[in-house]
Structure 1
Amino acid sequence: MSGVEVNHARALEGVPHGFLGRLGGVSTGVVAGLNVGTGSNDEPDVIAENRRRAVEAVLPSARLATVYQVHSADAVTIVSPFDEALRPRADALVTDRPGLALGVLTADCAPVLFADRAAGVVAAAHAGWKGAIAGVTDSTIEAMEALGARRERIAAAVGPCIARASYEVDSDFFRRFAEQDPANERFFADGRPQHFQFDLEAYVVHRLALAGLRMIEALGLDTYANENRFFSFRRATHRGEADYGRQISMIGLGG
């Protein structure tokens, strides 16, 4: 659809997918653009139109499936979209059914899309720092394997998220990762006293590689720094804005 920016990953070539931003929507105000977040104060009919445009830009006529994201490590396998009021609390979706657009919403967290072309299995995961360190990508891969995927065939791509230069964290945050694995210190750069700059994207890529994936791509797009293209929770917070938008990343099987 004209006006909707769809970022693609070479690793997922041939599989309907897209990492979308804020361009091409009908929302106005501080959430201007393609805001798809029902947790925002945007009008429901406007959000619905944005979601329709998003799906049409990636997998026309597909049915959109999302979950109630809670920064967990939980992945669910689906065969049809959930009723809005009955969405499970989880942070990843997996399917082998054509005609579904699996969607995850982000506003600085890392969206990760997966595909095993040979098995016909796809997945989408929301990896904020809590879900990433808890193993949401590992859970996603295991759920894909339960449907016949093989991790050595799974391709994964990490979409727009907050970059190291924009992601300041405190010493307690740093210690959580260092205590899990001292090698995690490499994902932190020194910042101002008692603070660090965290590389979420690199950490997620590391977890994917550690899980045995061989085809991994990182798009290297900073949601915080690219205001005209992406929504950012941290940017909105720093500005004291009353609301913030959410973008969507989707993947599905045609047919």
Structure 2
Amino acid sequence: MNSSWEKVQLARHPKRPTSKTVIRHIIDDFIELHGDRSVRDDLSIIGGIGYFEGIPVTVIAQEKGTDTNDKIKRNFGMPHPEGYEKALRLMKQAEKFKRPILVFIDTPGAYPGLEAEMRNQAFKIANNLKEMMCLDTPIIAVVLSEGGSGGALAIGVADQLLMFENSIYSILSPEGFASILYKDSKKANEAAEIMKLSANDLFDLKIIDGIIKEKNGLHEDQAFGFKELRSQLVKRLTIEMKKDTQKRLNDRYQKYRRMGVFSERI
């Protein structure tokens, strides 16, 4: 079994597929929809509609980019406030038309720059948490590679939360954690071991609902990983679509109440 730091390296592997690749392989007839109708179209978040196994779905995904130019265009997967507004707009549309929502999380965190703060980044994230708790449609979220802090959680409130075997999900990066705890970011490997950021750790803690298997890293065998992903999504989506609406909403609330994310009913 890989150490936590080795899993961090696998999650960040430059050849690891991004959300665009996942969507291309498992979503049929995908149509991307753009913009928040207020500021601009944040390209670090992809949103649109398509079919999964014949079921109309809305897809929300964070996209880091592939080559250098694409990474810059996508802001390395760090959304601005308008990215979260776009995501919520499309989620509300999904609720209106009773489409399940599939979310793919892959971000080191929300963009921490001055302009993001000026456009109320923290409020946009908090608002998404509140709204997603009450969305009247099934939500399945998958951590593809990195799930960093509130930037990941802002689109990650879900009925079922899954992680790829070599992905990570944490309050901040190991480097940031080490800078705070040890006053030395070079001790990130030590920090990773105590952060409980791996899929196995989070499954044991009952934070996530399932682990999607990989074979020597998703970059080594995409076909195997995507087959496992498809299988898990079919299983989880079937469960959630069969639930009575009120039961699903109550289960979602209880799930996050148990985690201590929300201290009182919204």
Query: Same-fold call, TM > 0.5?
Result: no
Q: TM-score, normalised by structure 1?
A: 0.36
Q: TM-score, normalised by structure 2?
A: 0.35
Identify the structure with the greater helix proportion.
2
